[in-house]
Structure 1
Amino acid sequence: MYRYAIEYLNEWFSRENRKPLIIRGARQVGKTTLIRLFAKRENIELIEVNMEDPQSFTSLLQNNQPQEIFELLALERKLTELQPDKTLIFFDEVQETPEIIPFLRYCYERSNSIRVICAGSLLEFSLGDSKTSFPVGRIEYMYLNPMSFDEYIHAVAGQGLYNKLTGFSISAPISAPIHTLLTQHFREYLICGGMPESVKAKAKGATILEIERIKSSIIESYSADFPKYTKYITHRPDTSLLLELFEKLPNFVGKKITYSKLSPTNTAAKVNKHIKHLEQALIVKKCMHTSAQYPPLKSGINEKIFKLIVLDVGLLQTQLGVSIADIKSSSDVNKLAKGELAEQYIGQQILALKPFFIKPQLYHWSRTAHGSEAEVDYLIEFNGNIYPLEVKAGTSNTMRSLKLLQIEKKFPIAFRFYSGEAKQEKQTVLINDNKFTYTLISLPHYACNQLKSVLEELNKPSQIKY
């Protein structure tokens, strides 16, 4: 299956000033498979080293001589020599031998001609461990998420529909039949999700029952990892609380987190700490409130106000038990599961829009004033501007929270995602007896990955139409 990240790996591999690469992503998002696909496509000699297995070179790590270890790895595989431009050394599950992380410094300083990549299913715990010596400035990161909707379409629907989707334009709308087809695939994506194993099965014609089995197995694998956290975290987390949060958090997707509702028998501090552990494992993601009116969005965050999304919309559908028949037949996807599926989907696609070398973050806006509560689902920034994104049910005229935000911030363009076709309209709010008019762009859910190209289009004045 094609992943956009393959192109980033190719750019990294070819770059003269590259550094050893650490791929960061949750268990089963396809890190190992990605490396293998890349090596096969580019005809590269892949030396794959799984650190869960005993390795002969571990005692040599303290010598800080990469060439010594590389030579040993080559000899063990009956290779006479390593060709730097055609060789990739991949250390997998490196959390089992965290000494590899400081060793990367010497890979960069003494043997930079050999390309080195590291990954691990619980690697984030090693990266966050204060005991691990960290080679600052001598490594680089790549962040890998579940497959985006675009990648899903490429895998299950083929190049033709993929080309139609990625060629989406606000000025030349997709025809009604293709819109219907993409909407159908979008609803199927809500069921299948973007976990590579599920998508691969879907592409091969697996039944819904088989895909459900795969998703359930992935969910079980995450909870089975919780006892392992104690190996990597100094204060020994409460595995029963981790499981409790993991099972309850799907019901809180897109909602402001209240610790007492998540776990009434534990303190807020303890619950917060264990949510952070799930964050470290990359199976949940915070969406921070920000009051910023100008970029960067992070300049206005309030650490105490946040929502959460989970890793993948398909896993969420399974965890919530949302009816597959309802997903396929609902007239308004934004109403399903109190809006959680649609909000999860959009958040997941926003994360996939970030360049692979940037740690992705999500932001929203909320107001908690009594009697005037409001929330806009997401805020994004692009080319020096901030854009609100709404995923709520209802017509454009009933978007109360967005209007309250616009009274306060006056953003010239806003988006909403819904089940209809693309359209533009002007909306007006009254501010101290003065009118403020902004452009509301309504997009079908399936076009979320095209946000960047739509924004580039909208920056041309002639493209803003009413």
Structure 2
Amino acid sequence: MLKRKATDFMKNWINTKDKKCLVVQGARQTGKTYTVERFAEENYEELVEINFKQMPSAMEIFSGDLTVDAMVMGMRFRFPEKKIIPGKTLIFLDEIQECQEAVTSLKFWAIDNKYDVIVSGSLLGIDYKRASSYPVGYVDYLKMYGIDFEEFLWGMGISGDMIENLCGYLRSKMIVPEAIHSQMMNYYRQYIAIGGMPEAVQKYIDTKDFRKIDRIQRSLLQGYQYDIAHYATAEEKVKAEKCYLSLAKQLLDKENHKFQYKEVEHGGRAQKYFSSIEWLLRADMVHLCKLVTDVRFDLDDYARDDFFRAYTTDLSLLMAMKDFSLKQHIVENTLFGNSKGGIYECAIADALYKKGYPLYFYKNETTKRKIDVMIQKDGVVVPIEVKSGNTRANSLKSILKMNADIPYGYKFVDGNIGVSDDGIITLPLYMIAFI
């Protein structure tokens, strides 16, 4: 059973006074349903689960009065074997985007505050907008992502104590012993090739067969394409799919990873395709890294909405857009050229996205300075360079020298830990999971 960090969030939610309904958001197939079901097994005497896609007739429970007593009575008639006792029963409404009245009902569950209610679904950013009365102020949110590298290590049998020992090298900025470092790089390359979608990770743990993982990745990608066809407006369907399927080429086949509409379609322009990017963003199918025109805090003040990089929300989907041989090259460390740098940049962006950071990048055509990724942490700007080898980071060095309010920057490399006098902290690629 894959251990997920989201479970700890749910445990804290249980103990919250006057708790609201919990909305578990996130892209499809990231483990939302599985995690809630395991959580219910461990923390409640019974689970009442309604999947509105699987059980559309259950929408009748929410078709009349939306008083808690009326809804509970409807559930008891529907599930006569369930007692539905406050504090002992978890009510789980899955694929809630299919039943807008159930979305509206969340306000009344929260006001009543007798029953613990968790809801989940895919494309909630698209479908919640159709709710007759959205329960603003009556829900808490948990954003679930695909499995991150630390969760992957748990699945591979690496204990918390071993990870804490690894983090000790990060805190002390001491070189990681080669035996540990080389094994961690092997794990990290495996993780990049597999991605973080739970089904793919579990298949790797069970079989170590990349052919089977490849089939899962491609099936997941087809599912995302189905969602575009099913949920996007008629005007957006084809455009959104074209934008989505262009991501691998945008990120891995070019030196400049800026999203370019001409890569979607010959002569493509923002006027035609920008709304499709917006749709994919709301649907949790992409996340963006925006260009900033300055490196000062607050970066969002200097961000350009029209100049960005677009990433898949999990590496599993990116892998499915490329030939099987890419996974082999990643695992065997035989990548070179733009693909190698592009893959590592995507992996770093993926890790930061799963930590909840808004992402930015910097490029100055006049000075030729550029920073691969920038985040804000503890009230300061943190510039990050990603190197496929361990080459110099001249732009990073220059940025640190010219901006006294930026105390340090990271250089992530296919190498070991190092610290320089100019504020650059060099870290192995896998350490992104622990900063």
Q: TM-score of the superposition, structure 2-length normalised?
A: 0.90
Partner of 1:281: 283
| Among candidates 213, 224, 236, match of residue 211 of structure 1 | 213
Deviation (angstroms), 1:153: 0.6
1:406 aligns with 2:400: yes
- Tell whether the 8 Å contact from 1:366 to 1:376 is kept in structure 2 after alignment: yes
- Tell whether the 8 Å contact from 2:50 to 2:58 is kept in structure 1 after alignment: no
1:248 alignment partner AA: S
Pair 1:320–1:336, CA change in 2 (3 A): farther
Partner of 1:261: 263
CA distance in structure 2 between the aligned counterparts of 1:89 and 1:362, rounded to whole angstroms: 35
Partner of 1:248: 246
Deviation (angstroms), 1:25: 0.6
CA distance in structure 2 between the aligned counterparts of 1:56 and 1:82, rounded to whole angstroms: 16
Partner of 2:8: 7
Partner of 1:458: none
1:415 aligns with 2:410: yes
Deviation (angstroms), 1:44: 4.2
Partner of 2:384: 389
| Among candidates 351, 366, 379, match of residue 363 of structure 2 | 366
- Tell whether the 8 Å contact from 1:335 to 1:393 is kept in structure 2 after alignment: no
Pair 1:263–1:170, CA change in 2 (3 A): same
Deviation (angstroms), 1:336: 5.9
CA distance in structure 2 between the aligned counterparts of 1:115 and 1:396, rounded to whole angstroms: 53
Partner of 2:345: 343
CA distance in structure 1 between the aligned counterparts of 2:103 and 2:43, rounded to whole angstroms: 26
| Among candidates 299, 302, 318, match of residue 300 of structure 1 | 302
* Secondary structure in structure 1 of the residue aligned to 2:375: strand
Deviation (angstroms), 1:104: 1.0
Partner of 2:327: 324
Deviation (angstroms), 1:291: 4.1
* Secondary structure in structure 1 of the residue aligned to 2:307: strand
For residues 67-104 of structure 1, the C-alpha deviation after alignment (integer angstroms, 9 at most, x for no partner) is 21123213432246322222211111111112222221
* Secondary structure in structure 2 of the residue aligned to 1:135: coil
CA distance in structure 2 between the aligned counterparts of 1:444 and 1:269, rounded to whole angstroms: 41
| Among candidates 259, 271, 274, match of residue 272 of structure 1 | 274
1:423 alignment partner AA: G
- Tell whether the 8 Å contact from 2:389 to 2:415 is kept in structure 1 after alignment: no
Q: TM-score of the superposition, structure 1-length normalised?
A: 0.84
Pair 1:103–1:74, CA change in 2 (3 A): same
Deviation (angstroms), 1:132: 4.3
1:379 aligns with 2:374: yes
For residues 270-299 of structure 1, the C-alpha deviation after alignment (integer angstroms, 9 at most, x for no partner) is 211111111122121111123454544323
Partner of 2:231: 229
For residues 12-55 of structure 1, the C-alpha deviation after alignment (integer angstroms, 9 at most, x for no partner) is 12211321111111110111011011112224421110111223
1:195 alignment partner AA: M
Partner of 2:88: 86
Percent identity, aligned pairs only, is: 25
1:412 alignment partner AA: P
Partner of 1:42: 43
1:389 alignment partner AA: I
Pair 1:120–1:201, CA change in 2 (3 A): same
Name which of structure 1's ranges 378-387 and 247-256 shifts more when overlaid on structure 2: 247-256
Residue ranges of structure 1 left out of the alignment (5+ in a row)? 355-359, 428-438, 452-466
Residue ranges of structure 2 left out of the alignment (5+ in a row)? none
Pair 1:338–1:373, CA change in 2 (3 A): farther
For residues 414-458 of structure 1, the C-alpha deviation after alignment (integer angstroms, 9 at most, x for no partner) is 10111111111123xxxxxxxxxxx1111111111210xxxxxxx
Partner of 2:97: 95
CA distance in structure 2 between the aligned counterparts of 1:384 and 1:316, rounded to whole angstroms: 32
Give the alignment of 1:94-133 within 5 angstroms.
94-109=96-111, 111-129=112-130, 132-133=132-133
- Tell whether the 8 Å contact from 2:217 to 2:319 is kept in structure 1 after alignment: no
1:299 alignment partner AA: D
Pair 1:57–1:362, CA change in 2 (3 A): same
Deviation (angstroms), 1:347: 1.0
CA distance in structure 1 between the aligned counterparts of 2:23 and 2:208, rounded to whole angstroms: 33
- Tell whether the 8 Å contact from 2:344 to 2:388 is kept in structure 1 after alignment: no
- Tell whether the 8 Å contact from 2:247 to 2:318 is kept in structure 1 after alignment: no
| Among candidates 175, 178, 196, match of residue 176 of structure 1 | 178
2:302 alignment partner AA: G
Pair 1:68–1:334, CA change in 2 (3 A): farther
| Among candidates 186, 190, 193, match of residue 191 of structure 1 | 193
* Secondary structure in structure 2 of the residue aligned to 1:198: helix
* Secondary structure in structure 2 of the residue aligned to 1:323: helix
- Tell whether the 8 Å contact from 1:57 to 1:69 is kept in structure 2 after alignment: no
Partner of 1:201: 203
CA distance in structure 2 between the aligned counterparts of 1:42 and 1:166, rounded to whole angstroms: 31
- Cα RMSD (Å) of the superposition? 2.4
CA distance in structure 2 between the aligned counterparts of 1:298 and 1:88, rounded to whole angstroms: 39
Pair 1:80–1:323, CA change in 2 (3 A): closer
